[in-house]
Amino acid sequence: MPAGDAVAPSVVPVFAGVGAVASQLAPTKRMATGISTGVLVVAFALRTVADSSSGGLDWLRWTTPMGWPEELRPFASGQALALLLPLITGALLLGTAVALAARRDVGGGLLPVRDRAAPRLRLLGSPTAQALRSELGGLVAGLVGVGAFALVMGVISDAATPDVISKNVQRQLEKFGFESVVTPSGWLGFSFIFFVLAVSIFCCAQIAATRREEAEQRLETLLALPVGRRAWLAGRLLIAAAAAAGVALAAGGLAWAGAATQGADVSLASMLAAGANCLPVALIFLAFGALAFALAPRASIGLAYGLVGVAFAWELFGALLEVPGWLLVLSPFHDVGLIPGEPFEATAAAIMVGLAAIAALAAVRIFGHRDLTGA
């Protein structure tokens, strides 16, 4: 079994233990998620530094669960310690979680939480500003997560050569329309299909946040004030679109920064364009998610994520199975010219932005007439 195939089973016990410990320490679900995500990001960053370093830092692989699978070396001089470390670490973390559970109150955590704090009135001047304030944490998390992945893709782009990527893999990628991934620009163009997916999922998260505000009856209180329904939803969608643009451009800029550290011949302008190129598809899913929220609020979260998942799966498996092109066009992912490896598809982008605008306007209008729906 190649070392790469051992990644999942080797890290599962460790990060299951991390999640268990975080749930005992944190008094809220959000804080526990933040702690676990932070540990994951640090582990991934250490592995990236070890792999991209030209020498002297290989030992960092032993400091992160992400590096232990590589040290298994099943077809070379395997090391038993790399196999035992995930099991030992996972067991220690789970044991720690059990011990911590006995010391905390039900419904609470061991970390202190402030029951009282001075009022903070920033970004409470309008419903749109309040929406930005409530989703600021999600925006930061999106920027950090997508940005870190983009930086890694940029760092390894210069390593995309015919010696590294086999002819068979290249032939499979050609089914997706990628003529070449063995250059930095080709590799980055290919990788941006995943950033299109990531930004689309980010937009779905904004629809989910919008729905939670209604389900938890915060919206009912807000609309008791002189606030219009249509203005509220329009403001939420504008904030979501602006946040998606920020995440997409950050991906482009950090991918360029990673490539620049390796001397890859990729321009900043082309990578910012690659980031902006994520938006037409993401806006389609944002607008249709908003339409689902207006028409079927209880099902809107599942519909938003489901549309993205089905569209991406159709593009992925349809291309591999060589489905006729006129059927693949049903997926918005099929109509993206992945800059800088491919030319920009201006017509397709304009159509997607136009459809997104129509769907968003329809969502705002419909929401203005329907009753609020609880959980």
Q: Is residue 114 in a domain?
A: no
Q: Is residue 316 part of a domain?
A: yes
* Mean pLDDT score, 61-84: 71
165 and 51 in a common domain: no
Q: Indicate whether 19 and 158 sit together in one domain.
A: no
Rounded to whole angstroms, how far apart are CA atoms 72 and 218? 51
Assess whether 69 and 141 both reside in one domain. Answer: no
Q: How many domains does the chain have?
A: 2
Nearest to 156 by CA among 5, 262, 54: 262
Boundary residue ending a domain (86, 109, 132): 109
Residues of the domain holding 8: 1-109
In a domain, 117, yes or no: no
Same domain, yes or no: 356 and 218: yes
Last residue of a domain, one of 84, 109, 134: 109
Is there a domain that residue 115 lies in?
Answer: no
**Is 221 in the same domain as 73?**
no
Q: Is residue 210 located within the same domain as residue 316?
A: yes
Band the pLDDT of 6: cuts 50, 70, 90: very low
- 104 and 151 co-located in one domain: no
* Structural domain ending residue among the three candidates 44, 77, 109: 109
pLDDT tens string 90-106: 899 999 999 988 888 77
At how many degrees (to 10) do helices 29-52 and 7-25 cross?
Answer: 140
Tens of pLDDT, residue by residue over 189-214, are 888 888 999 999 999 989 998 898 88
Tell me the DSSP string of 251-289. Answer: HHHHHHHHHHHTT----HHHHHHHHHTTHHHHHHHHHHH
Confidence of residue 225 (pLDDT cuts 50, 70, 90): confident
